[in-house]
Amino acid sequence: MSRKLAIATLLYSADYLPGVFALGHQVNKFLEEAGKKDSIQTCLIVTTSLFNDTLSGFAKDLLNSVYTKFVLVNPLEFQDESVQRNSENLALLKRPELSAALIKARLWELTQFEQVLYLDSDTLPLNKGFLRLFDIMSKQNKLQIGAAADIGWPDMFNSGVMILIPDAGTASGLQDYILENTSIDGSDQGILNQFFNQNCCTDELIKESFPREWVQLSFTYNVTTPNLGYESSPAMNYFKPTIKLIHFIGRHKPWSLWSQKDFIKNEYHDQWNEVYNEFKKENGVKVEMPKVGIDDFDDTENDHTKTSTEEISQVSEPAPVPEVAATNTPGDAIEDSGNEPPSNPVPLDFTKWLTTFINKDYSISQQATENDEQPNENDGNENNSSPRSDQESSINDMQEPVVPSNDVSAQYTNEPQEHTNDGDATENTTSGSEQKSLIENLQEPSTINNDVTVRPKNENSEHPKESGDSADDSNPEPEQKNSMNHMQHSIASNTDLSEDAKQHGLIDDNIQYLEKEKEGYEEFLPDVHETDAIDDEETEFFDDGVEEAVEGENEGEGKAKSSAAQDSQEGAKPAECKSGKPQEELPNFKFDWEASDYLSKVERCFPDDIFEYAVK
């Protein structure tokens, strides 16, 4: 009699939907190819609140087309406390969204299956060879976990690919352990290693009798990428034909911006995109993924979707640009892009800020004597934001299509709740995607030739407390959520940007925007590109630039980031203003933010072509 087998993945925030879709699609392909479609279930573990309250009926239908079973799970008991205790270690990862990955502990509750192959949703099997794991591990017992070494610390396993035996006793033991111990990495990988992996027992005596066992799988079952600095490693070339699965670890996922950029992308990202496009084509998905994914969202619900739902909850209308779960908040940007000067003296829009503060003193003094000498200058100023104004109509066009919500026929297990997709007929959709941006340094993998390395099994002992080494497979990157929040204030243009690039519409807009103004801003541009082209931090840059320039009332301090402005000023000095009147004194760059009415006193004297973008 055949064993009850499942391949499972996890979804606790909508921005991983593309991963879940592509993975499910690919797994099905290989199950079919291997003739195992009927013998191995595909199982989506999804948080109850995400499923019931957030995902659209359309998304559920799509999920239903690739997964045979949905398992709705709730947070672990006392998960909040665990997350709290782990927060310090998790901070090392710079991946706060992973706090909820502790919910992977629920995998051992899937006792309706005899064996489960868990795959992170950012994994991609490359061929049906990955299914051999069920054969290789056919004798696995409930105290064992099969996983490949993590490249960040190869004495530990990576928890993105795990084969396990569900068992109620193990499940409760693990959850107790999570309650009582701090995870090495603040998330699931650390604590699962501590629980299962004898190597994490730093006390040699206890190690002798360690009760559970990590069975090390070949790295070819979980080849993590990116592998910066090692991409052309001889080992990679040597083992390439044997790779069964790729795992896109870290902040940057194949569906996020960076994979669309030439500078980091590798062939596996192309493969992922092919699979994803194939999925979309086969399922007739033509709308943008945010429209697929999420219904109206109630911010009061679960913690697990917090990273995305913080954003979702703010959004009244979806932005058209991101392919995947990206949230752009139309609000501020659109409002600010009108002709009304902002009532708030702290400008959010960098260009507006720039044009208003330049030559303030000059214009004030000129005003005193010349009155109408520069009658049109303020027009350009007011139109600073005009490149974005055309987006308002795009936003208005972004109404979620009415998508019929079909019943999801998959069975729900484990605290089933009736899903109420009926109310989802109209999806005012948006998605909360924090753009995960990180480039990992990966160590050269110590690849083994055998598929499995079974370690000596020990018995009966206490669990190791914790080790000092981080299992972090991600390089720290500055936290970017805040900057994402800033990003939400802007709307990306509805261009033909690649779908993922569209997620970062703001970034690209800003870059293009500045390029248009290149003349006179050259010294400024490299900073923008270097700092911003890759990820979300550009928004911080702008804010910083504003703050620094403002705070740096002595001219030197502000120069670093507003040098272009100053240069333009200096360049303008001997030249003529648009009015034709030569400037007679150096502009004063002092910027007194306390002066509440400064906007009304601001003038500039640049030639109009500097503000060409305003016309466009």
Residue 160 or 290 with smaller CB distance to ligand UPG? 160
Cα separation of 600 and 183, whole Å? 55
d(CA 191, CA 206): 17
When asked if residue 189 is in the footprint of ligand UPG (CB under 6 A), the reply is: yes
Query: Contact with Mn ion (CB under 5 A): which of 122, 424, 473, 540?
Result: 122
Distances (CA, A) of 131 to 32, 37, 126, 128, 136: 11, 11, 11, 6, 9
Per CB under 5 A, 472 contacts Mn ion: no
Out of ligand UPG, Mn ion, none, what residue 185 binds, judged by CB under 5 to 8 A for its kind, is ligand UPG
Residue 475 and residue 251: Cα distance in Å, rounded? Answer: 9
| Interacting residues with ligand UPG between 294 and 353 (CB under 6 A) | 307
Does 68 sit near ligand UPG (CB under 6 A)?
Answer: no
CB of 148 to ligand UPG, least distance (A): 10
Integer angstrom CA distances of residue 114 from 42, 130, 140: 14, 18, 10
Min CB(250)–Mn ion separation in Å: 8
CA 269/CA 290 separation, integer angstroms: 21
Range 154-183, binding ligand UPG (CB under 6 A): 158-160
Q: Outline where 34-131 has alpha helix (H).
A: 48-49, 57-66, 79-93
Indicate which of Mn ion, ligand UPG, none lies near residue 121 (CB less than 5 to 8 Å, by partner kind).
ligand UPG
Q: How far is the CB of 455 from ligand UPG (least distance, A)?
A: 21
Residue 10-29 contact track with ligand UPG, rule CB under 6 A, x = bound: xxxx--x-------------
- E runs forming strands in 414-492: 452-453
98 binds, among ligand UPG, Mn ion, none (CB under 5 to 8 A by kind): ligand UPG
Strands 223-225 and 69-73: unpaired
Q: Which of 7, 9, 196, 483 binds ligand UPG (CB under 6 A)?
A: 9
Question: What single letter denotes the amino acid at residue 565?
Answer: A
Check binding of 125 to Mn ion (CB under 5 A): no
Least separation in angstroms between residue 187's CB and Mn ion is 11
Contact 35, 71 (CB under 8 A): no
Largest CA distance in the chain: 97
Q: Which is nearer to ligand UPG, 97 or 536 (CB)?
A: 97
Residue matched to tokens 């992308």: 265
The DSSP symbol for 77 reads: T
* Interacting positions 475-514 with ligand UPG (CB under 6 A): none
Query: Residue 400 in contact with residue 428, Cβ under 8 Å?
Result: yes
Q: Compute the distance between CA of residue 572 and CA of residue 606 in angstroms, rounded to an integer.
A: 7
Closer to ligand UPG by CB, 61 or 188: give it. Answer: 188
Stretch 86-105: interaction string toward ligand UPG, x if CB under 6 A: -----------xx--x----
Does residue 82 belong to the site contacting ligand UPG (CB under 6 A)? no
In angstroms and rounded to an integer, the radius of gyration of the C-alpha atoms of the chain is 27
Q: Which does 159 bind (CB under 5 to 8 A by kind): ligand UPG, Mn ion, none?
A: ligand UPG
Is position 120 an interface residue for Mn ion (rule: CB under 5 A)?
Answer: yes
Site mask for Mn ion (CB under 5 A), range 155-174, x = bound: -----x--------------
CB 355 → ligand UPG: shortest distance, Å?
A: 39
Number of other CB atoms surrounding residue 80 within 10 Å:
12
Asked if 532 is part of the footprint of Mn ion (rule: CB under 5 A), the reply reads: no
Single out the residue of 188, 424, 499, 517 in contact with ligand UPG (rule: CB under 6 A): 188
Q: Give the angle 352-355-360 at the CA atoms, nearest 5°.
A: 125
CA dist list (Å): 556 to 360, 477, 550: 18, 29, 11
| Binding region for Mn ion (CB under 5 A) | 120, 122, 160
| Binding region for ligand UPG (CB under 6 A) | 9-13, 16, 97-98, 101, 120-122, 158-160, 185, 187-189, 249-250, 307, 473-474
